[in-house]
Chain A
Amino acid sequence: MNKDAQMRATINKKLIETGEQERLKELLRAKLIKCGWKDQLKAHCKNVIKEKGLEHITCSNFDDLVAEITPKGRALVPRLCEEGTFSKNKNFPCSVCQPLR
């Protein structure tokens, strides 16, 4: 377990260091906007806010909103985007590991 955790940590570090993390983030964001995920989620936000009341959102903790939105967001991601990002993610650890060998 420890090894795994360490391994993950290393990989994460490498991700950020090489800038791969940023690149992957931007890629995913663009994909999500293109497939309409962002608009869908935004509409959902509107509904939530209308239900809960505008003032409630602003006054209450930001985390509440996040907690509401995130699972829905995760569920809404279309399969295609997911798979695309996945494969890229897979490539990365390998590419990280190769030079280290």
Chain B
Amino acid sequence: MKMEEMSLSGLDNSKLEAIAHEIYTDLVEDACLGLCFEVHRAVKCGYFFLDDTDPDSMKDFEIVDQPGVDIFGQVYNQWKNKECVCPNCSRSIAASRFAPHLEKCLGMGRNSSRIANRRIASSNNMNKSESDQEDNDDINDNDWFYGSEKKAKKRKSDKNPNSPRRSKSLKHKNGELSSNSDPFKYSNSTGINYETLGPEELRTLLTTQCGVISEHTKKMCTRSLRCPQHTDEQRRTVRVYFLGPSAPLPEAEGSVENDSFDVAESQALMSRLQWDGSSDLSPSDSASSKTSTNNSESRKTKKKKPHLSLVGAAPGLSSNKKKKPKPPAPPTPSIYDDIN
């Protein structure tokens, strides 16, 4: 212990540092030795060079630094200019547009069926009295091939008004590609372009559809006669506008028969009603309320309706009639009096 005490007193800074340095050196050598052991074992066991790649592979996956090419050496828009031939229609289509084209061409895929259904629905509405169901189907199916051959009123458009593509082309080309160009066309959209329709078609249309012209699109509404977006007032206005003041009003058209309601016809109807005919002939009742309303009530309203259509008075009547049981507008009582 004495020696230690002596050594302690002999401690000064430089000696301390020397000792510290020694300790440090020992530690480092120890670390080096440890590494050598590891390496030697790896070499002996043969796994020392395993994590290196061979020079051939290194060359294959070398980073490429040329213009027009990515770091793997691939060209960016290699397939953009390529054209493929469609097996269905034998047209040459750009590669990037090939998939959507094929979808429409073959008539398969979500969007195509949606378009087709819509076409069928609107064509049925339009052409029900004019052409067969079958013809319509044919028209729908073979839209792609028999462009303008079949009927004068062919739809030639292969662009769905509701597809995203449509808005693009409309933007770029100022709407030239829209369905307005062909006079015999009508669009497949939810609205009908009334300018292209003849009077007969208009009348037919107005008997089944709402027909109110939207301000934004200038098209007629193709929803049902009771569509919630438009009021009866609007519907009446449209009918008056198109078919004149003597136009059969929407109420009258909502019946089972979808025939156009002429003035002459209404007269015949009127006479029939005066005989107290069956309630089927009631043009005033909308289809749903036919059975629900009272007989006498329906009779009264029956009488009112055709009379009105003949006279052309009390324009607001029909609009009020539709779903409400409450009495109609003021002018009505006077007509009541007339009848009674």
Contacts and interface: CB of A to CB of B under 8 A. Distances in A.
Contacts of A15: 23
Interface residues of A, number: 41
A101 B2 CA distance: 10
A10 B7 contact: yes
Nearest to B23: A89
Contacts, number: 104
Interface stretch (B24-32, B125-133, B139-147, B277-285): B24-32
Contact of A74 (B6, B16, B19, B28): B28
Nearest to B29: A70
Question: How many of chain B's residues touch chain A, expressed as a range?
Answer: 35 or more
Contacts of A10: 4, 7
B40 A65 contact: yes
Contacts of A79: none
Contacts of B31: 25, 28-29, 32, 73
B5 A42 contact: no
The majority secondary structure among interface residues of chain A is: helix
A18 to B, nearest CB: 13
A49 B32 contact: no
A8 B43 CA distance: 37
A90 B10 CA distance: 15
A9 to B, nearest CB: 10
Contacts of A101: 5, 8
Given A3-B3, A8-B22, A101-B5, A66 B36 contact: yes
B40 A41 contact: no
Interface in A3-37: 3-4, 6-8, 10-11, 15, 24-25, 28-29, 32
Contact of A77 (B23, B28, B33): B28
B29 A94 contact: no
Nearest to B7: A7
A19 B213 CA distance: 95
B49 to A, nearest CB: 7
A66 B32 contact: yes
Cβ-closest 9 pairs across A and B: A89-B20, A73-B32, A7-B7, A89-B23, A90-B20, A70-B32, A45-B39, A28-B27, A66-B36
27 contacts: A3-B10, A4-B7, A4-B15, A7-B7, A7-B11, A15-B23, A24-B23, A24-B27, A25-B27, A25-B31, A28-B31, A29-B31, A41-B35, A42-B35, A42-B39, A45-B36, A49-B43, A58-B40, A65-B40, A66-B32, A66-B36, A73-B32, A74-B29, A82-B24, A93-B20, A94-B16, A101-B8
Given A49-B48, A93-B11, 7 more contacts: A6-B3, A7-B10, A25-B31, A66-B33, A66-B36, A73-B31, A97-B8
